[in-house]
Chains A and B, each alone.
Chain A
Amino acid sequence: MSQQRTIRVVLVDDHHMFRTGVRAELMSAATPGGGSGSAGARPAAPTYAPQIVGEAGAVESATSVIKETRPDVVLLDVHIPGGDGHGGADVIRACAGVQTEAGQPVRFLALSVSDAAEDVIAVIRAGARGYVTKTISAGDLLTAIGRVADGDAVFSPRLAGFVLDAFGAAAGEVAEIDEELDRLSAREREVMRLIARGYQYKEVAKELFISIKTVETHVSSVLRKLQLSSRHELTAWAMGRRLL
């Protein structure tokens, strides 16, 4: 694997056991043939080589480790102690503006035991580029890390479902113009629906006869709307849970 791209990763999780597990899994998944999980279904060789440059178990230590190591991607547990009690969202806020050596912003991939909206929306709105559940297979996690490192967004089916709900897309609301923050465009809605149905990006691309890059653009645009929208339900929902 000569073309592997090295991604510097910081692991933030308050469970030491989990950090150890993820580290081992990422290492074995990055080596060809050592991949596990759903590797059988997706035989594509990994093109990313994660390099874990730091670990932390609380908001304060995570912030200092991230500022010190300036990684490409931070794998961020949603529930970690310290800070203002908002867990991962506090880390993202504290690390706003930190850049990697290449001048890219440090990207955050949220990680949670549950993918209940309660856990996820706060970190997404704080600035995470995506989130995955802790039950994710190593191969999928590696793909997600790579995608986030490239500045794309990672949506799980459930997050897509929440987006469709929150933007009223399930009820048929569609934005007139793409720039509208409070509604999804027709195409974004299509992409979200397919992701909610469990489609991978490349399957979405095939289904809609568009390129994977276009799918990624749509997903990133939805992520931006999710982060910036002042849509009433979304904000009220977050306010009700004191996430904002």
Chain B
Amino acid sequence: MTTRTEPSQPVPQPAVLRPAVLRPPLVRPTDGRIIGGVAAGLAVHLGVPVKMVRIGFLVAAVPFGAGLAVYVFLWATMREGTLAPAPSPVDPAQIAQPGQPGQPGQLSAGVRPAATPSAAATPGVAAPAPGAEPGHRVPTSKSLRAWLRSGNEAVVIALLGVVALGIAAALWLGSAGIGVEPQVLLPVVVIAIGALFFWSQLDDADPVGARRPVQWIWLIVGLSLTTLGLVGLLVGQTDVGQIWQVAGAVLAALVGVAVLAAPWILRLWSNLRREQAARIRATERADIAAHLHDSVLQTLALIQRRAADPAVVARLARAQERQLRSYLYDEDARAGTLGAALTAALDEIEDLHGVPVELVVTGDRSMDEHLEALVKAVREAAWNAVRHGEPPVTAYVEVGPTAVEAFVRDHGTGFSLDDVPDDRAGVRESIIGRMERHGGTATIRRRSDGTEIELCLPVEAPTTAPSQPEEENA
């Protein structure tokens, strides 16, 4: 059972995206797997029903466990990944994330949905173990699933499977007339169990290789069992007194190897990490480059073409700045709040009129219909200001515990409400009337150097305190 495959990193695959891909890549899917996903991946790759592949493995496992060996080998060498939608048992909803060609399995393992029951089960035990063929979609409760994800499933199945396999093999060999000595069989079984423990944890690492404590326990248990089995196998025929000597020698050898290999392994490890980091950075850079190309370069081209028109240029520059800013500061996170609604409303005015409105918001709360009305009133006030007033136009909105106050100010000559003809709906209806309908007030103050419209809307005490202070980027 201790095959020649090594429990190392999945070997780097040749270019997965060949120009003319006839078959889907040979990867182990993270979904729809029963043990290691080998059968599912193979089925997709070969284009045959997954059941056939599974039965094939079971049948092939009968003569001397050949199928098992193949399974283990494939498991160790096949890269874990996501499959393109194909006639496969893979749930299409689960593979929304893009495949990551050329990345080690650990990276893609990190982005898979957390709820995926990634049964890190063991190979080689499917045949005799009764629990190893649990059906395709096991309806498991959440806690059970979490327990399974912790790697315990692998261990249980491994124990059952290896014990059963060992007994079966012993019986079979015994009936075939070949005497099996327990001194040999027992260590072999122990080694197998240990190896399975060890390998069962291959798939379940986080993207950075971090493991949960329980997995470390399994790793250590597996390692100890394997070592124990090897020692047992080697010293099985000798007497007990020598065992300690041999154990000491083995330990010394292991320590020696570890000391010699440690620098190499560390070097290898740090190289790998560096490479991973570089790749992540490269991806980010490509992302940003794509964004810049789509937005900034296009705007710059437009600006060059419209260079003769300062107003258009200024407007383009402001619009681009806003877009870039929301990209940089991730303003999507504030969607659905008063601040976001105000920003959007005033940006729209700026786009329409080309006059920037500087917006400052303190505090924030989620939108409701009254705040909707307030936003519309602020928008109307700012609209008035950019049309009739002089820049700079500023808007300040303060979200207090009992009221939301808004101030829109311009530096124009100002106007008096009495001068506004009655048929003009703008101020009277859109601002004052709207605020009063929603229980608020609106005041227009004419100052020596401009007009200020004050809006006040009483609100209930916020159920959730405004989160951390966050500045607007109008």
Contact = CB atoms under 8 A, between A and B. Distances in A.
A13 B224 CA distance: 62
Given A41-B411, A157-B358, A172-B400, A165 B469 contact: yes
A118 B329 CA distance: 10
Contacts of B471: 115-117, 158, 161-162, 165
B461 to A, nearest CB: 10
Nearest to A135: B356
Nearest to A162: B471
Nearest to B362: A170
Nearest to A198: B394
B398 to A, nearest CB: 5
Given A116-B473, A160-B360, A41 B449 contact: yes
A171 interface: yes
B390 A117 contact: no
A165 B329 contact: no
B93 to A, nearest CB: 35
Contact of A161 (B329, B361, B468): B361
A233 interface: yes
B396 A157 contact: yes
A118 B394 CA distance: 21
Nearest to A237: B468
B396 A116 contact: no
B399 interface: yes
B394 A164 contact: no
A184 interface: no
A203 B363 CA distance: 25
Contact of B396 (A38, A197, A203, A236): A197
Interface string B200-218: 0000000000000000000
Interface in A195-232: 196-199, 203
A170 B362 CA distance: 7
B473 to A, nearest CB: 6
A175 interface: no
Contacts of A52: none
Q: Which of B329, B362, B401, B470 neighbours the largest number of chain A CB atoms within 10 Å of its CB?
A: B362
A171 B400 contact: yes
B379 interface: no
B400 A198 contact: no
A170 B363 contact: yes
A166 interface: yes
Q: Which of B394, B411, B449, B471 neighbours the largest number of chain A CB atoms within 10 Å of its CB?
A: B471
Nearest to A117: B471
A171 B401 contact: yes
Given A114-B325, A197-B452, A161 B362 contact: yes
Interface of A: 38, 41, 114-118, 157-158, 160-162, 164-166, 169-172, 193, 196-199, 203, 233-234, 236-237
